[in-house]
Chains A and B, each alone.
Chain A
């Protein structure tokens, strides 16, 4: 990321936000039934962005595995569910949430090791589509195991994150801006996690090896990088990310079977941000989160509500047409 790109984003993003606001304000001149206020607009925008962070958390897990093995891990959603279920189950046994977190982390490491042993190792050198099919198998397996072990009723997951809302900027906007503290805390945790991942990938020996494997399996083998242990590391990291996502989503919606389906919301995020880019997963999530909230509230006035359920997919389709590698996806480098 160079400085030109940074200034571009630095001006482009606030510019777009203000431009959209101005357009809405113009609409109020034409249509008197349409309600718009800047404070209200920003409140929705921020709520949308925080929602977007939650999407990013799920999308990150996909990116990690896709980058390292070129496999689209269909099971990421059920890994989120499995992690959340295990965490809740352990807490129901009376474990403190921090202990339950550590124990679930260990379970995710074991899961990564067994997936490598049982699924990936026998399928080495097979086409990607075979591995993709295998991840569909893992999806149902995890789904079933999780529910067999911990039951399928809706459970609540509470690790003590405050859930009330705070009001900020009361003297700038009328009524101030309400922000949900739960979303805020989750966003902060997400930010820390991304920073840790970035350092891991760019500054450590293993991180560098992971990126090398992502680029060229054969060459990675030739310099002595053992693919097997790299895969275990990748699936472990993806499992831990799934755990954090599971806690965030489980805390918000409760833990139950439908949690596995939030993976479907991660798909458009991936298409937008690029399947191979961690910053892409973040930015994609933010755009989709903010976009769907803002259009639900403001566009819903004209074309009816429930925009939230299709907005992300339409946006993803548009992106597939104009920029198939996504915003930050690795371009296929071609030398002429």
Chain B
């Protein structure tokens, strides 16, 4: 005995299909309204606030109140509790709340082409084409916002979210019902020991989410065999403290075997970021007597996570090379005292592993040839495009890494 979920657009004859399926399977029906009522009852939140979770419009205060997230947590908990009571048809927005891991759920989407829906709106409610299309668009916007909130998917009718998508403009109600019943007896949606465990985990995760949400936290929760994983989807400086608080709330809930916290992948922690920055050189020495130019350049490279030091003349550049072992140098050719060409010559003869990029405003073709002969990695003209320079720096870095390994 399984669970059937039906997510549908309005004016797609979904209610008729639901009745047909209930008649032939004997399953009970769980609707959004039932879940909302029960959620209001158990949480003490007003019904209309919970109902607003299904709306595309979010309260402007949501960032502080987390009303939407709290409502969703509530709905999830009620639904998970309901599912414990055995086979059911879940029809409506709530149907998308059951995690994919629960495999004994046959996920159905009922939708139709626009002309069919407008026609139905006329038949069922006597709506004009204009009114019908207005209602359909408003309802579809809510559906889209719901899919976006839950799965970050723009299209609520996306095939990937369902086991079957039924286009009602191409079949009648009886045919749709028959197709659902046909798929319901397939092995893939049969209740197994493993799938029952995932249902229990769903309830556990929902319970934890509710408890955290009541305490004002907004994290996503998953559970596997009692091991709970909390994903923090925001930037928080005092991460250790937040994790501690989350763990103490979640750990106190019966049935929770262990609690692990992690940071969502779009909300990088510094160390993840640093892994990424291995692709760029971290020690770049800029040598140029035009102070302002070289300082601006240094700051722009820092914005791209390349650490850089600056020298304004050849002597201090060569001193820094000895002390600081830069990976890559960017040098100007024309400078008082030891000029760029001389630096290039000395660096390449004493420290050939340092890559040197020549960046000059007044170079000739002969200069370019000479620099490349002396072993420069690249020869670039001012003004330089910062992206192009970044690219060249990355390439120099790759060459060095390759040489090292």
B partners with A? no
* B interface residues with partner A (beta carbon < 8 Å): none
